[in-house]
Chains A and B, each alone.
Chain A
Amino acid sequence: MSLINAHGITKVYRLGRVDVPALRGVDVQVEQGEYVAITGPSGSGKSTLMHILGCLDSPSDGEYHLDGADISALRGRALARIRNQKVGFVFQTFNLMPRMTIDENVALPLQYRGGFSRRERLKRARALLERLGLGDRIGHRPDELSGGERQRVAVARSLVGEPAMLLVDEPTGNLDSKAGAEVLRTFREVHNAGNTIVMVTHDMHVAAEAQRSIHIADGKIAA
């Protein structure tokens, strides 16, 4: 069975008295260890698809299995648990906690998972930061780092909980081309280490990094 198995996913938003369909029956399959890009213009529904694949939101209709678990019916607390265990998010704007050191930031998902001592969490976080070449930045706060470094901290944070997949949203959108290339290289390394990556982007150059692309337009898969 595929790692991601989404079938007939629809999502309808209710704006006042009008129903706005964002997704109209999308099928997505991603295998363990794949590197997939989801592309499409803004308003195409790719963000909505990402939210559903990332378990931040539930589909209005359709079936979604992630790593063998049926997600479609889960809400609230159960969904939070799945996010924590199976999904590692990387955002366009990094979304690091400004008042925490980068090692504390990276350790945060383990804090929410529970069962790890603070010492153990920070040990794992620091090991990951070392692996991603940020060892000399340990103990610093995000605002003391460059944009590229911050995004690599975010990658470390997404990996710390050993999730089933990384869900990446426009990872280079806030970076210059040099820092962007650096971050993309990091994703390549992470992928080569066996991780599954689903990347949402509208940038064709970025999408070219992936093994294949899923193109969304008007709430449907276009090609």
Chain B
Amino acid sequence: MDFLMNAMQSLPASMQLSGPLAWTITALVAAGVTMGVVSLVALLAVYAERKVSADMQARVGPMHVGWHGILQTTADAIKLMLKEDLVPAMADKWLFITAPLLVFGGAFIGWAVLPLCKGWAPVDLNIGVVYLLATSSLVALGIIMAGWGSHNKWSLYGAMRTAAQFLSYEIPTALHLLPAILLAGSLNLTALANSQAGGMGNMANWAIWNPFCFLSFFCYFISGLAETNRVPFDLPESESELVAGFHVEYSGMRFAFFFLAEYAELFLVSAIASLVFLGGWNGPFGLESSFLYLAKVLVMMFVAIWLRWTLPRFRIDQLMGLCWKFLIPLGLINILGVGFWIYYFRT
């Protein structure tokens, strides 16, 4: 929001606003812009998901709406908005209605601290990483609310799996971000990316080249996929056993909110990974560009889509085993290791 405030300072004096009104207007503009970006990202990501999956299965995917089906997701979005608004008769009406808003709201408010390019974070929060970990818990609660409110046994199973999965994977997500944070000495996302500048080819200082952070990067990405319920960890909505899990009763606009939230979260996880581990906007040959940062995020998202159409789903006990017996111990070891690293190589 600071850059909006600064932009307003450059207006002619007669047009300048101050006080709470100016503050409210800049906040609303920042939120509106972020909302637009989230929707655009989700539209393009859904299209990419369909095209990539089609290619992997030797199909062509959507081809008819627009050039190579580029407008297909837009058409789908319009269709979802025009659909009848259904609430099942036995559902808990208030929980059923609030749940999609909570899920999308949780994914959306995380974007508040995310720099969209260098120096353009809506709110450049000093403890951005903690904020992101905090907001992700809203999504899990929204999913539980949806599962309970639908009054459907498959939804309920999906919700219970979400609760277990989220409680478990919250821990390795935080643990595996810590080594890079310890190296950078900051919890601010912009500062984290900036601390990785310089070195050979503007790449040598990336956190990922540290042996402990190298492991943590992959573990963080795995935990992130699990927290966003992506395949191979999409047990809460596994279609072969639970039909569609927690959102089986949802249709139309409410379903669209779940869909939007999934891609908003996927982008968030990819963006955090590229900011914290891959140097953000710092790139090879001394380049420093926001396009580079976006490219990294898109590559990470592509990897997530790639994994979805390559790997089969985990079993629930394998999922829990992976978290508690592998990711968490490794996270603790990595934190200890990076502590020794800083002690012996930095001081």
| A associates with B | no
Which A residues are closer than 8 A to B by beta carbons? none
